[in-house]
Amino acid sequence: MTSAPSDKTQDSDTLHRRGLMFILSSPSGAGKTTIARKLLASDEEIKLSVSVTTRPPREGEIEGVHYHFVDDAGFDRMVEEDDFYEWAHVFGHRYGTPKGHIRNALKDGQDFLFDIDWQGTQQLYQKDQQDTVSVFILPPSIDALRHRLEGRGTDSPDIIDSRMERAKAEISHWAEYDYVVINDNLEMCFAKVSEILNAERMRRTRQTGLIPFVRELTL
């Protein structure tokens, strides 16, 4: 005779897990920003990590939504007080990831999306490797990357040349990432990135609710 299900057994669909810090990096023009936006729009379990920057706000940017805008003195103070997971110089300005509530939110199962470069990724690994998953997005070719940058119509040829040199330097760090995805088709690339995120959420070490769940199964 089959016994009735135990009321003590936790629903396997609601097992508690630890959140993760999901990093997307790519050279400018490889599609990282578009994929990040699609991920945030389609997945309610992940939030964008809002960076601090010394760059002036651009038209339409909102404090606390797109960035936390500070002056150089304020940024220096945060560096001195070890308030950053990581920070770096980018095109004449500084950008950093504030620790803030992130660590506590990870314990509650909240995921965070990070749009940072290889230097920021290294710093994040050094401070919290167990919670970090990194994905590097490559263009299908260097010519395709230049074509995308030129297609924006926002930069001069000199700036595009500068971005291409920076892109080649960034691409040289591809082997430092957990995953590498080639963006030769946006929808397919997005699907692969989503699969990586979902698989990483299921890692046994992040399923903190498994221990009590399995204990109930063996009583």
Residue 68 lies in a domain: yes
Q: Which residues pair with 67 in a beta bridge?
A: 63
Q: Could you tell me what percent of the chain has a pLDDT over 90?
A: 63
pLDDT digits (tens, 9 = 90+) for 127-183: 889 999 999 999 999 999 988 888 877 778 888 888 899 999 999 999 999 999 999
**pLDDT tier at 11 (50, 70, 90 boundaries)?**
low
pLDDT digits (tens, 9 = 90+) for 98-126: 887 788 899 999 999 998 889 889 988 98
CA 115 to chain centre: 5
Angle between the N-to-C axes of helices 186-201 and 32-42, in degrees from 0 to 180, rounded to the nearest 10: 60
**pLDDT tier at 216 (50, 70, 90 boundaries)?**
very high
Residue 121 lies in a domain: yes
Considering only CA atoms, which of 19, 47, 34 is closest in space to residue 114?
A: 47
Query: β-pairing, 132-138 with 21-25?
Result: parallel
CA separation for the pair 30, 25 (Å, rounded): 9
Query: How many domains are there within the chain?
Result: 1
**pLDDT tier at 7 (50, 70, 90 boundaries)?**
very low
Residue 9's pLDDT is: 44
Residue 4 lies in a domain: no
The answer on pLDDT for 6 being more than 50 is no
**pLDDT tier at 12 (50, 70, 90 boundaries)?**
low
The answer on pLDDT for 78 being more than 50 is yes
Give the residue numbers spanning the domain of 192. Answer: 13-213
**pLDDT tier at 8 (50, 70, 90 boundaries)?**
very low
Kindly report the pTM of this predicted structure.
0.80
For residue 40, the domain's CATH number is: 3.40.50.300
CA separation for the pair 68, 53 (Å, rounded): 6
CA separation for the pair 33, 135 (Å, rounded): 13
